[in-house]
Structure 1
Amino acid sequence: MSYNSSRGGSFLGSIPDITKNLLIINVLMWIATMALQTRGVHLDKWFALHFWQAGDFMPWQIVTYMFMHDFSSVQGGLLHLFCNMFNLYMFGALLERMLGAKRYLVYYLVCGVGAGIVQELVWQLTWVGDVASALGVSAAEAQNAINAGQIGDLADFLNLRYLTVGASGAVFGLLLAFGMSFPNLKMFIMPFPFPIKAKWMVIGYGVFELVCGTQGMMSGVAHFAHLGGMLFGILMILYWKHTGVIRKNDYI
């Protein structure tokens, strides 16, 4: 697959505007986060997504979190940022050209916000059990202690434990749209030494995230947020087809 740009020979010049600006914003936000935290200014407090019952939660975080990335270490942050930005470039640039800038941006943001909503729902379902595990008591005992206000450091627990950052949810939405647009396109996916059709790649990623999320594997990763991005992506596509925004026999 090739693309002959008429906008100049530079790398950035060959990337459509929305994807290019998303890449720039994400990189600048990560640099600012890493630089400012050395001076005691923690952008994650304001812009990372916190659990809605935590003291640090702010409504705008459901949008801003997708422009933040891992800030715990330079190495981890760079890897997190690179993986998301590479996939944003690979899949986003093509989808932007297909959908048009406005529709593409709406789709990207809906997937990212949807991923955040799903993550909040998962936290809501699991936080009492997590408190119980931390205290070594039953869920019922933990709930009674919470209701009675007997857990003094509960606010700190919620602020520190339930926090997520990253464009992954939105990127998984792009991955879904790519798979629906080019289901039979064969791609090489590491570590497999043979090509895989895009539709099987998408299904495989979805199953992998579901297994990891339900089995508690790779606990530092927001697996259900990734699935949320895919879920809201397919809902957005079905809505567009139902309302005639895109034809039912059109791309995606």
Structure 2
Amino acid sequence: MRGAFGGAVASDRPVVTWAIIAVCVAVYALQWLIPNDFIFQNFYYANGFATTEPWRMVTAAFLHSQGNILHLGLNMYTLWIFGQALEPLLGRARFLALYLISAVGGSVGYLLLVPPALDGGVVGASGAIFGLFGAMLLVQRRRGGPMTQLWVLLAINLAFGFLVSGIAWQAHLGGLVTGAACAAVLVGTGRTQRAPLWQWLGLALVSAVLVILTVWKAGAPALS
């Protein structure tokens, strides 16, 4: 069986969503169980790691603040909401790709918009989840569904990131733009015979743009 946008779906159960939630919860437990802050120190993202340890752009999305369990709880709840809606429509592989590319997009947004003097590092699934937000907007529009509640919810969440200290709104914005770009590829190719090819090529192109932006920004002279 195939979803509305061409992805293979074995059932309506959001298995990938559950798996991501399980990994995030397990990693959060390990953050507490393994001493010397080992998990955080080895897997969080800061801009200084952009070219030397680029995998942190993804791994940071599976870590959460130990000082605030709501950071984990709210992110996982939002992931569950969007995952239930998007995964059956996109298919498991495309949904996972959307999530991971959006996570990288969040890190790239942080890289592009945070001055070196303010780079304290970042953890959390928020960038990836804002990517799902961006994707949901395009999917809902394509399907002709109501948009008002989504726009209001997006405005509230973006404003929250700008107004509350300690929140990396730059990662939110980067994830949002990246998720929307991925969704534009997935919903814009229809269900023709060649659609899967164009979808994966489009996702590869979005990923390539993120790599180019990372290399460009990381190699640019630091601005004070």
| TM-score normalised by structure 2 residue count | 0.70
Q: 1:121/1:209 Cα in 2 relative to 1: closer, same or farther (>3 Å)? A: farther
* Displacement of 1:182: 3.0
- Contact 2:130/2:172 (CA < 8 Å) preserved in 1? yes
Q: How many residues align?
A: 180
Does residue 234 (structure 1) correspond to residue 180 (structure 2)? The answer is yes
Does residue 166 (structure 1) correspond to residue 124 (structure 2)? The answer is yes
- Corresponding residue number in structure 2 for 1:43: 39
Alignment equivalent of 2:133, drawn from 175, 193, 196:
175
- Contact 1:111/1:230 (CA < 8 Å) preserved in 2? yes
* Displacement of 1:185: 3.5
Q: 1:241/1:15 Cα in 2 relative to 1: closer, same or farther (>3 Å)? A: closer
Distance in structure 1 (CA, Å) of the matches to 2:49 and 2:106: 18
Does residue 30 (structure 1) correspond to residue 25 (structure 2)? The answer is no
Note the 1:95-106 alignment, pairs <5 A: 95-106=86-97
- Corresponding residue number in structure 2 for 1:93: 84
1:220 aligned counterpart, secondary structure: coil
Distance in structure 1 (CA, Å) of the matches to 2:116 and 2:71: 25
* Displacement of 1:177: 2.0
- Contact 1:19/1:96 (CA < 8 Å) preserved in 2? yes
* Displacement of 1:179: 2.8
Structure 1 window deviating more from structure 2 (235-244 vs 81-90): it is 235-244
- Corresponding residue number in structure 2 for 1:84: 75
Note the 1:46-195 alignment, pairs <5 A: 46-52=42-48, 58-71=53-66, 73=67, 76=68, 78-123=69-114, 126-128=115-117, 130=118, 162-182=120-140, 184-185=145-146
1:49 aligned counterpart, secondary structure: coil
| TM-score normalised by structure 1 residue count | 0.63
- Contact 2:13/2:88 (CA < 8 Å) preserved in 1? no
Asked which structure has the greater CA Rg, the reply is: 1
1:70 aligned counterpart, secondary structure: coil
- Contact 1:182/1:198 (CA < 8 Å) preserved in 2? no
Higher helix share: 2
* Displacement of 1:40: 2.0
The runs of 5 or more residues in structure 2 that have no matched partner are 1-10, 199-224
The runs of 5 or more residues in structure 1 that have no matched partner are 1-12, 131-160, 187-195, 248-252
